[in-house]
Amino acid sequence: MYSKKGAVTATIALLLAAVVFAGCGNQAANAPQTPVQNGTNAAGSNNVSENGAVNDGGAKDDQAPEGNNAANGSNAETGNSANQAPDPADSDKGSGGDKAAMTDSESVAVLINKQFALPDDYEPKDLIYPDVRFTFKDKIEKRMMRKEAAAALEELFEGAEKDGVYLAGVSAYRSHRTQTALFNRYVEKDGEELAKTYSAVPGHSEHETGLAIDVSGSDGKCAAESCFGDTKEAAWLADHATEYGFIIRYPEGKEDITGYKYEPWHLRYVGKEIAADIGERDITLEEYYDAVPVSGQ
């Protein structure tokens, strides 16, 4: 073993850096250093997965780095198991939304956060490849979304282009298997406590729903980085995403409620009606359901 002390120090430094990208930020590590067009991003797999973002000095991600290779495609298509019995919970409507939808994995309005998880065997049954630009060419897991969300995403990208805004997908679906493999790798490396500070516990990443996607401008700059917030793409999304049924899931100033730092790039599909309501009231999905703030405060 080489300098254990040095390795520990380096790891700590990287973890600190990683905190910044806490939310879904797979991509700081993944972010193309060169503009998107570099094509085959087989790199996508190298970036974060095996070596781990830690070693690469990339930001780790919480909801998740890619690690697409783990499950890459295959299991997503099989759509086997995934037999989600809708949570029979009371269909009690709070002052917020429909509480049955909140806990129904099959609902596009399901609430997934640090408190609410998907069942371990959950696998969306209707994943497809949205016909939009991505920062990579491969047809791999992270390019997929559930059908309804994919169709809405296509409309959103079209709407943006009409306004002269060119978006690109960075990372969408992530299977439970991928998230688990990734998380386990981090636990082996850093122990569970530390791993939890930068990686989403399997079942708790919104990317596992097939309803979330990280986007950037078509040049891939600032993908999953806070500087994205200053781009015209981010401004357009903040103004128009809800028209297409998407919300900026982790807004600025709502960290105590969502449990995540501001992530202007992380879009979550919830359907037009709910998105409009959330947009008008300037609230989060947690508030929409009157759910307990993740911070518990």
Report the catalytic residues: 263
**φ, ψ (nearest 5 deg) of residue 51:** -70, -25
Shortest gap between Cβ of 5 and Zn ion (angstroms)? 34
Binds Zn ion by CB under 5 A, chosen from 14, 18, 22, 24:
24
**Position with the least CB separation from Zn ion:** 24
Question: Applying CB under 5 A, does 285 fall inside the site for Zn ion?
Answer: no
Under the binding rule (CB under 5 A), the answer on residue 237 touching Zn ion is no
- Name the residue among 285, 295, 287, 293 with its Cα closest to residue 111: 285
Binding part of the chain for Zn ion, among 23-31, 46-54, 151-159, 239-247 by CB under 5 A, reads: 23-31
Closest distance to Zn ion from the beta carbon of 60 (Å): 13
228 DSSP 8-state letter: G
CB 266 → Zn ion: shortest distance, Å? 4
Segment lying near Zn ion (by CB under 5 A), choices 86-94, 160-168, 209-217, 281-289: 209-217
Binding of residue 174 to Zn ion (CB under 5 A): no
User: In whole angstroms, what separates CA 79 from the centre of its chain?
Assistant: 20
Enumerate residues 6+ apart whose C-beta is below 8 A from 133.
36, 157, 166, 167, 168, 169, 218
| Alpha carbon of residue 9 to chain centroid | 29
H/E run at residue 27: helix 27-30
274 binds Zn ion (CB under 5 A): no
Question: Is position 143 an interface residue for Zn ion (rule: CB under 5 A)?
Answer: no
* Alpha helices (runs of H) in 163-227, residue ranges in sequence order: 176-190, 192-198
* Binding status of residue 104 toward Zn ion by CB under 5 A: no
Residue closer to Zn ion (CB basis): 99 or 268? 268
**Do the Cβ atoms of 263 and 25 come closer than 8 Å?**
yes
| Of the residues 174, 204, 254, 266, which one makes contact with Zn ion according to CB under 5 A | 266
Kindly indicate which of the ranges 17-25, 117-125, 129-137, 147-155 contains the residues binding Zn ion, using the contact rule CB under 5 A.
17-25
DSSP per-residue codes, 148-180 = HHHHHHHHHHHHHHHTT--EEEEE----HHHHH
Candidates 53-61, 94-102, 238-246, 261-269; binding stretch for Zn ion (CB under 5 A) = 261-269
Sites of contact with Zn ion (CB under 5 A): 24, 214, 266
